[in-house]
Amino acid sequence: MTDRVFKMQRISKKLFVITVSLAALFLALGCSGGGESSDSQANTSQAATSAITVPIFDAQDIDGKWHNAEEWLGKKPVVINFWGTWCPPCRREIPDLVKLYDEYKAKGVELVSIAVNDSPNKVKEYAAVNSMSWVLLMGEDQILIDYKATTGIPTTIFIDKEGNEVTRFIGMRDYQTLKTGFDAIL
C-alpha cells in the first residue's frame, strides 16, 4: 500500500511540473515582443445576414457596461488592439496608439482595446495615467479565439468600415508601422 501511495505522489508531482511548465510556456509565448508580423487578408465568416466578415462579440468595458461590436463594426473603420497591463511590449506601444488615436478619431476611426488576462481596475488605472481615451474592453478567451489572436499580444487588427479585416500586426509595432494600418482602413 505504501508503495502505491509513493507512486501516486510521484505521478502527481510529475503532472504538477508538466502543468507548471506548460503554463510558463504559454505565458512566455502570450506576450510577443515583436519580430513576427502578419499582414492577413483572411476573414472569419459571419451570418449570411451581415456584410461584416470579422467576428461579432459582446464584452464589458472597464466600468462593467456591456458593448456589442456591431456598435462600430460595419459602420466605421475600427482598430482592435489585444493587450494587457502586465505585458511590457503592450505598454511600450500605448504612447504611439495614443498619438494615432488623437490623429485618426476625427477621421472616424474607432480604437477598441481588449485587455487580456487583466482586471478592470488595473486597466482603468493604467488608462487614466496614459491618456487612453478610447473604448477599453475586458477580453474573454473566446474573443481571442474568434479573432485568431492567440499567437501573442499585442495583436492589432485593422478593419475597414465595411467590416473586413485589412491587415494585422502581431507583436509590438512603432508609430510609423501602426500608422500604415490606420491609413489602410480609411
Distance CA 45, CA 49 (A): 11
Percent of the chain with pLDDT over 70: 73
Q: Could you tell me whether strands 78-83 and 110-115 are parallel, antiparallel, or unpaired per DSSP bridges?
A: parallel
| Whether the Cβ atoms of residue 156 and residue 148 lie closer than 8 Å to each other | no
Higher-pLDDT residue of 173 and 140 is 173
- Same domain membership, residue 67 and residue 2: no
Task: Answer whether 103's CB lies under 8 Å from 181's CB.
Answer: no
Same domain, 40 and 25: no
- What is the domain count for the chain? 2
- CATH code of the domain containing 145: 3.40.30.10
Domain extent at residue 11: 1-30
- Residues 55-65, mean pLDDT to the nearest whole number: 97
Residue 73 has pLDDT above 60, yes or no: yes
Alpha carbon 111 to chain centroid distance?
Answer: 12
Q: Which residue has the cell 479573432?
A: 147
Residue 50's pLDDT band (cuts 50, 70, 90): low
Q: Is the dihedral of CA 99, 102, 107, 113 positive or negative?
A: positive
- 132 and 120: one domain? yes
Predicted pLDDT of residue 9: 52
pLDDT over 50 (residue 3): yes
Q: Are residues 19 and 38 in the same domain?
A: no
Q: Are residues 88 and 71 in the same domain?
A: yes
Do 20 and 42 belong together in one domain?
no
Both 22 and 112 in one domain: the answer is: no
The continuous run of DSSP H or E covering 103 comes out as helix 88-104
Within 8 A by CB and 6+ apart from 165, the residues are 40, 41, 42, 43, 53, 54, 157, 158, 159
The answer to whether 76 and 110 have CB atoms below 8 angstroms apart is yes
Whether residues 24 and 40 share a domain: the answer is no
**5 and 69 belong to one structural domain:** no
Q: Mean pLDDT of all residues in the chain?
A: 83
Q: Are residues 21 and 61 in the same domain?
A: no
Rounded distance between C-alpha atoms, residue 107 and residue 15, angstroms: 53
Based on the domain organization, do 82 and 105 belong to the same domain? yes
The tens digit of pLDDT for each residue in 27-49 reads 444 565 444 444 433 333 333 34
Q: Is the pLDDT of residue 10 over 70?
A: no
Percent of the chain with pLDDT over 90: 72
- 124 and 90 in a common domain: yes
**Average pLDDT value for residue range 96-106:** 98
